[in-house]
Amino acid sequence: MKKAISILLILVLFFTWFGYRMIGAFLDHSANAKFQAALDENKYECDKLMSFKVPTTSDGYYNNSNEYEKAIGQFEFNGIVYSIVKKRIFQDSIEILCIPNLTTMNGRMLANDLFKLINDLQQDGREKKGSSPVFKNLLVEYLTSDLSSIEST
Protein backbone atom coordinates (compact mmCIF):
# COMPACT_ATOMS: atom_id res chain seq x y z
CA MET A 1 0.00 0.00 0.00
CA LYS A 2 2.84 2.40 0.86
CA LYS A 3 4.50 1.61 -2.43
CA ALA A 4 1.34 2.45 -4.40
CA ILE A 5 0.87 5.74 -2.53
CA SER A 6 4.50 6.73 -3.07
CA ILE A 7 4.22 5.95 -6.79
CA LEU A 8 1.01 7.98 -6.97
CA LEU A 9 2.66 10.93 -5.24
CA ILE A 10 5.65 10.76 -7.57
CA LEU A 11 3.30 10.75 -10.57
CA VAL A 12 1.48 13.80 -9.18
CA LEU A 13 4.84 15.52 -8.70
CA PHE A 14 5.90 14.80 -12.29
CA PHE A 15 2.52 15.99 -13.54
CA THR A 16 2.95 19.30 -11.72
CA TRP A 17 6.45 19.66 -13.16
CA PHE A 18 5.76 18.64 -16.75
CA GLY A 19 2.06 17.86 -17.25
CA TYR A 20 0.82 21.42 -17.35
CA ARG A 21 3.43 22.32 -19.94
CA MET A 22 2.40 19.35 -22.08
CA ILE A 23 -1.28 20.29 -21.79
CA GLY A 24 -0.39 23.88 -22.69
CA ALA A 25 1.61 22.73 -25.70
CA PHE A 26 -1.27 20.51 -26.84
CA LEU A 27 -3.80 23.34 -26.52
CA ASP A 28 -1.41 25.72 -28.32
CA HIS A 29 -0.96 23.21 -31.14
CA SER A 30 -4.72 22.65 -31.55
CA ALA A 31 -5.41 26.42 -31.54
CA ASN A 32 -2.71 26.92 -34.19
CA ALA A 33 -4.22 24.15 -36.31
CA LYS A 34 -7.66 25.81 -36.17
CA PHE A 35 -6.17 29.21 -36.97
CA GLN A 36 -4.18 27.79 -39.89
CA ALA A 37 -7.32 26.06 -41.22
CA ALA A 38 -9.12 29.42 -41.18
CA LEU A 39 -6.20 30.98 -43.05
CA ASP A 40 -6.28 28.17 -45.62
CA GLU A 41 -9.95 28.94 -46.29
CA ASN A 42 -9.14 32.68 -46.58
CA LYS A 43 -11.27 33.46 -43.52
CA TYR A 44 -9.34 36.48 -42.32
CA GLU A 45 -9.80 40.22 -42.46
CA CYS A 46 -7.65 41.78 -45.15
CA ASP A 47 -7.36 45.05 -43.25
CA LYS A 48 -5.50 43.24 -40.45
CA LEU A 49 -2.77 42.00 -42.77
CA MET A 50 0.65 43.44 -42.09
CA SER A 51 3.43 43.67 -44.62
CA PHE A 52 7.07 42.98 -43.82
CA LYS A 53 9.86 43.58 -46.29
CA VAL A 54 13.14 41.70 -45.94
CA PRO A 55 16.06 42.41 -48.29
CA THR A 56 17.34 39.46 -50.32
CA THR A 57 20.99 40.40 -50.49
CA SER A 58 22.13 36.87 -49.72
CA ASP A 59 20.28 35.22 -52.63
CA GLY A 60 22.40 34.92 -55.74
CA TYR A 61 19.41 34.71 -58.04
CA TYR A 62 15.67 35.04 -57.69
CA ASN A 63 12.63 35.48 -59.89
CA ASN A 64 10.50 38.57 -59.47
CA SER A 65 6.81 37.93 -59.08
CA ASN A 66 4.03 40.47 -59.18
CA GLU A 67 1.53 38.23 -57.43
CA TYR A 68 1.65 36.81 -53.95
CA GLU A 69 1.80 33.09 -53.39
CA LYS A 70 0.47 31.18 -50.40
CA ALA A 71 2.92 30.62 -47.56
CA ILE A 72 2.77 28.88 -44.21
CA GLY A 73 4.76 29.77 -41.14
CA GLN A 74 5.00 31.80 -37.96
CA PHE A 75 7.42 34.23 -36.43
CA GLU A 76 7.56 36.48 -33.42
CA PHE A 77 8.38 40.17 -33.74
CA ASN A 78 8.37 42.58 -30.78
CA GLY A 79 6.50 40.07 -28.63
CA ILE A 80 3.69 39.55 -31.14
CA VAL A 81 3.25 36.22 -32.94
CA TYR A 82 2.47 36.56 -36.65
CA SER A 83 1.20 33.87 -39.00
CA ILE A 84 2.45 34.17 -42.57
CA VAL A 85 -0.36 34.25 -45.14
CA LYS A 86 1.32 35.18 -48.45
CA LYS A 87 4.76 36.03 -49.80
CA ARG A 88 6.43 37.24 -52.95
CA ILE A 89 9.87 38.21 -54.18
CA PHE A 90 9.72 41.66 -55.66
CA GLN A 91 12.77 43.56 -56.94
CA ASP A 92 15.39 43.25 -54.19
CA SER A 93 13.31 42.02 -51.26
CA ILE A 94 10.91 39.40 -49.99
CA GLU A 95 7.51 40.82 -49.10
CA ILE A 96 5.59 38.87 -46.49
CA LEU A 97 1.91 39.43 -45.71
CA CYS A 98 1.04 38.17 -42.28
CA ILE A 99 -1.64 38.48 -39.64
CA PRO A 100 -1.24 38.70 -35.84
CA ASN A 101 -2.02 35.34 -34.27
CA LEU A 102 -3.78 36.37 -31.08
CA THR A 103 -4.89 32.83 -30.22
CA THR A 104 -1.28 31.70 -29.93
CA MET A 105 -0.33 34.72 -27.86
CA ASN A 106 -3.29 34.27 -25.51
CA GLY A 107 -2.59 30.54 -25.20
CA ARG A 108 1.06 31.15 -24.34
CA MET A 109 0.18 33.79 -21.76
CA LEU A 110 -2.44 31.50 -20.22
CA ALA A 111 -0.03 28.56 -20.07
CA ASN A 112 2.72 30.72 -18.53
CA ASP A 113 0.33 32.21 -15.96
CA LEU A 114 -0.93 28.74 -15.04
CA PHE A 115 2.63 27.46 -14.70
CA LYS A 116 3.55 30.40 -12.46
CA LEU A 117 0.46 29.91 -10.35
CA ILE A 118 0.95 26.17 -9.95
CA ASN A 119 4.64 26.47 -9.11
CA ASP A 120 4.19 29.49 -6.82
CA LEU A 121 6.47 31.80 -8.79
CA GLN A 122 6.42 35.56 -8.25
CA GLN A 123 4.24 37.44 -10.71
CA ASP A 124 4.19 41.07 -11.82
CA GLY A 125 6.33 42.40 -9.00
CA ARG A 126 4.00 41.06 -6.33
CA GLU A 127 5.75 39.51 -3.40
CA LYS A 128 5.09 35.98 -2.30
CA LYS A 129 2.88 35.55 0.67
CA GLY A 130 4.80 34.78 3.81
CA SER A 131 4.85 31.35 5.26
CA SER A 132 1.84 30.25 7.22
CA PRO A 133 1.50 31.14 10.93
CA VAL A 134 1.54 27.44 11.83
CA PHE A 135 4.92 27.03 10.17
CA LYS A 136 6.22 30.17 11.89
CA ASN A 137 5.06 28.92 15.27
CA LEU A 138 6.68 25.54 14.72
CA LEU A 139 9.87 27.24 13.60
CA VAL A 140 9.92 29.49 16.68
CA GLU A 141 9.27 26.51 18.96
CA TYR A 142 12.05 24.53 17.30
CA LEU A 143 14.54 27.37 17.49
CA THR A 144 13.75 28.17 21.14
CA SER A 145 14.01 24.50 22.14
CA ASP A 146 17.22 24.19 20.17
CA LEU A 147 18.68 27.30 21.84
CA SER A 148 17.65 26.12 25.29
CA SER A 149 19.33 22.77 24.71
CA ILE A 150 22.52 24.57 23.64
CA GLU A 151 22.46 26.80 26.72
CA SER A 152 21.98 23.85 29.07
CA THR A 153 25.13 22.14 27.83
Please state, in angstroms and as integers, the Cα–Cα distance from residue 2 to each residue in 5, 7, 8, 16, following that order: 5, 9, 10, 21
The pLDDT of 64-77, averaged and rounded, is 86
Among 7-11, 60-64, 71-75, 115-119, the range with the most confident prediction by mean pLDDT is 7-11
Does the pLDDT at position 75 exceed 70? yes
Distance CA 123, CA 145 (A): 37
List, as one string, the DSSP characters of 13-42. HHIIIIIHHHHHHHHHHHHHHHHHHHHHTT
Predicted pLDDT at 5: 93
pTM: 0.61
Q: What is the DSSP letter of 78?
A: T
Which DSSP string do the residues of 44-77 spell out, in sequence order? Answer: S-GGG-EEEEEE-TT-S-----SS-EE---EEEE
Identify the residue with better confidence: 141 or 70: 70
